Amino acid sequence: MDEKQALTTVAGISVGSYAVRMKISEVLPEGKTRTLERTSKSIALGRDTFSKGKVSYEIANEVCEVLRGFKKLMNEYKVKTYRAVATSGIREAENNDYILDQIYSKTGLDIEIINSSVKRFLAYKGIRESLQNYQKLRAEGVMVLDIGSGNIEVSIYQQGSLTFSQNLKLGSLRLKEILSELESKTLDFPKLLEDYIKSNADILLKTFDINTNIQHFIVLGDVMKDLGKLCDCPDNYIDKSQFLMVYQSLLHKPTHKISSTYKISKEGAYTLIPSFILLKVFLDMTSSPQIYTPLVNLEDGIVADLVDQKLITQRKQEFLHDIYTLVRSLAKKYHYDENHANEVMDKSLCLFDGSKRLHGLGEEERFLLQLATILHDVGKFININQHYNHSYDIIMASNIMGISQQQLEIIANVAKYHSTLTPKISHENFNRLSHKDRVVIAKLVSIIRIADALDRSHQQKIKTIEVKLQENKMIIKASTVEEILLEEWTFEAKSSFFQEVFGITPILNIKREISC
């Protein structure tokens, strides 16, 4: 049975801070999907985490009960492929290991904790499927704001490329819980919330000429259902003036009054004002005359990603390009040597492709190597001395959309060891990784070291290389018209690690070409 035959029904499950949801879809030809079932249950899981630091026994049992029902529904639809993820409500809980174990033992479902960058990545896959003019919005400039209970995710597309993507701990429920003790000490709690949000979001105002470059505003999150109800906008577009009118009318109303007057759940009313203030603060950073609310959830993106992982889709290629352009933007922020990075990238990928039989790695590892080559020297922005350590710190502190924590560790370690420092089990950053990831890192490091050596002068003297495996040797044929003594000397020094990792000797053969 091939992958297309096996991938007939899939399920995406999200265990969020405010609700547990599932979507079951049928996979159609060409990677399209048809929704068979949607179900959700509101659970204030994040309220425990953000106020007490732990998920309570009662809430954990409630989550397990809901997931048991989901599992039964999956069995009825004969779902074989699923992905279940948990966000900040479980991720930030001190007892998350115990909660995940309880869920698995009671339901049989394996829940994966995802970081904010992967959540953002999945959410935007869901958006893409709901937008008819997706490419046009990206070209004209769009800000995407995903309002969660624990965090918000902000991304900006300009001229068709992703140029900014960041997670901020400003979720509506988190704001309410963090600042709750100040609510009784002020007559203008909304102004306090607004000031707090702006102080944490000023990076956007400093980074972008927001008002002129961002023409569209897309918002995701549970609050958008309530906003659509309040504004009476069935077409998923809310006029800015209409939103501001509703905003002003609700700003100083107490939670119980909002709930009873507008028939909004108590949980929704509790976080409505923080959500509205978040909306206004970020809407004001754009020139958009309206808010687009596609009403997609995380599970929509999970289903789309499941299809992408099994089938070759245009959507998958587009999102890989988004990650690539975002990493380029990150490197530019640290004033990287673009020509050198491009040279190391091209040579690394050539070496990777030419030695596939040797390393046995796949497309994911190739992509991580590509990202590492772009970022390997960004630490020079801090200090040229031991810049590789600073590169590691910068990468680990970055929030790259679509890159999991595990993948981030691989990229950062490849950058750390690309120069003279050799990975050792005594290094804490290397020791904490799995055996499998340590081997992957060692293989990628051995490749990037050779590629970096071939441009030691940062002058791109070697035009092309060819790679050929022969018995216990890897022959690298390099053509150049210039003197490359520095590159040859560095190659000899750096190729020893390749020999240690793979058990074969890299040989550099130089073909001298006559300059015209």
Residue 323 has pLDDT above 70, yes or no: yes
494: domain CATH number?
A: 1.10.3210.10
DSSP letter for 443, please: H
- 361 and 498 share one domain: yes
Write phi, then psi, for 404 (nearest 5 degrees).
-75, 170
- 29 and 109 share one domain: yes
* Predicted confidence (pLDDT) per residue in 399-447, tens digit: 888 899 999 999 999 999 999 899 999 999 999 999 999 999 999 999 9
Give first-to-last CA distance, the chain, whole Å.
57
78: domain CATH number?
A: 3.30.420.40
In a domain? residue 125: no
| Of 79, 114, 149, the domain-final residue | 114
Q: Which among 473, 410, 474 is positioned nearest to 442, based on CA atoms?
A: 410
- 383 and 250 share one domain: no
- The answer to whether 327 and 400 are in contact (CB under 8 A) is yes
- 110 and 137 share one domain: no
* Predicted confidence (pLDDT) per residue in 181-194, tens digit: 777 787 788 888 88
pLDDT average, residue stretch 367-380: 97
Residue with tokens 């999991």: 404
Torsion of CA 128, 131, 133, 138, to 10 degrees: -40
- The answer to whether 423 and 413 are in contact (CB under 8 A) is yes
Give the structural domain span for 413: 334-512
- 283 and 359 share one domain: no
Place 2 in a pLDDT band, splitting at 50, 70 and 90.
very low
Sign of the CA dihedral running 167, 172, 178, 183: positive
pTM for the model stands at 0.80
Q: Which among 365, 342, 343, 341 is positioned nearest to 353, based on CA atoms?
A: 365
Number of domains in the chain: 3
User: For residue 34, how many other CB atoms are within 10 A of its CB?
Assistant: 9
- 277 and 161 share one domain: yes
Q: What is the DSSP string of 203-252?
A: HHHHH--HHHH--EEEEESTHHHHHHHHHT-TTSEEEHHHHHHHHHHHTT
Q: State how far the Cα of 10 lies from the Cα of 4, in Å rounded to an integer.
A: 12
Q: State how far the Cα of 306 lies from the Cα of 303, in Å rounded to an integer.
A: 5
DSSP letter for 513, please: P
Cβ contacts of 446 within 8 Å, gap of 6 or more: 497, 498, 500, 501, 502
pLDDT given at position 45: 85
- 346 and 464 share one domain: yes
| Of 293, 314, 343, the domain-final residue | 293
| Of 231, 264, 293, the domain-final residue | 293
- 352 and 220 share one domain: no
* Predicted confidence (pLDDT) per residue in 239-292, tens digit: 899 889 988 888 888 888 888 888 888 877 888 888 888 999 999 889 999 998
- 102 and 141 share one domain: no
